[in-house]
Amino acid sequence: METLCDATRVLKSNGVRVTPARVLLLEVLHSRGGLITAQELHGFLPAGSADLVTVYRFLALLVKARLVREVAGTDGIAYYEMACSHNPVHPHFECLGCGRLICLPVFQQEDSERVYAYGEGHEVESVSVVFRGTCSECLAKATEEGKG
Ligand SMILES: [Zn+2]
Ligand SMILES: [Zn+2]
Ligand SMILES: [Zn+2]
């Protein structure tokens, strides 16, 4: 298992100002894996260290620097995940039943880098592929109810 990216180093090397709160947020994003909302991330900060608006601003900065990817759910809520080599670009699945957003298996490693080039001639800031339908849990539940 590869060790996770060093948050302080990642911020510094991308010209992003380093604060204890920022390092903590990046570490949580990375260690938890998967998708997380700004609200959830804010909950990991010690009380009074940074407000929710600050968290949103920081996330916007990370998205711009391509350190983090933003995925929008149909509920209008933005979800965030790491965009480093530990979490290559992959599609997502959104369940229209329970609203869950699930990470699907990654594109091939080399495609992850190349995927930004697909927007040939345009300046790509973010990439998002979302499949929508009924998740396996909701399907199982429907089957159960059908039996009952
Ligand atoms: Zn990483
Ligand atoms: Zn579901
Ligand atoms: Zn994901």
CA of 134 to the centre of ligand 2 (A): 6
Phi/psi-derived region of residue 9, left when phi > 0, alpha when psi is between -120 and 50, beta in every other case: alpha
Confidence of residue 1 (pLDDT cuts 50, 70, 90): very low
Structure tokens at 18: 């380093």
pTM beyond cutoff 0.85: no
Q: Which fold has domain 7-147?
A: Arc Repressor Mutant, subunit A (1.10.10)
CA of 141 to the centre of ligand 2 (A): 9
pLDDT greater than 60 at residue 38: yes
Helix, strand, coil content of the chain in percent (nearest 5): 40, 15, 45
Residue 4 DSSP class: P
The pLDDT value given to residue 109: 61
Structure tokens at 108: 């091939």
The Cβ-side half-sphere exposure at 120, using a 13 Å CA radius, reads 1
pLDDT greater than 50 at residue 101: yes
CA of 72 to the centre of ligand 2 (A): 17
Q: Which ligand is nearest to the CA of 104?
A: 3
The residue-averaged pLDDT of 101-130 equals 77
CA of 71 to the centre of ligand 1 (A): 18
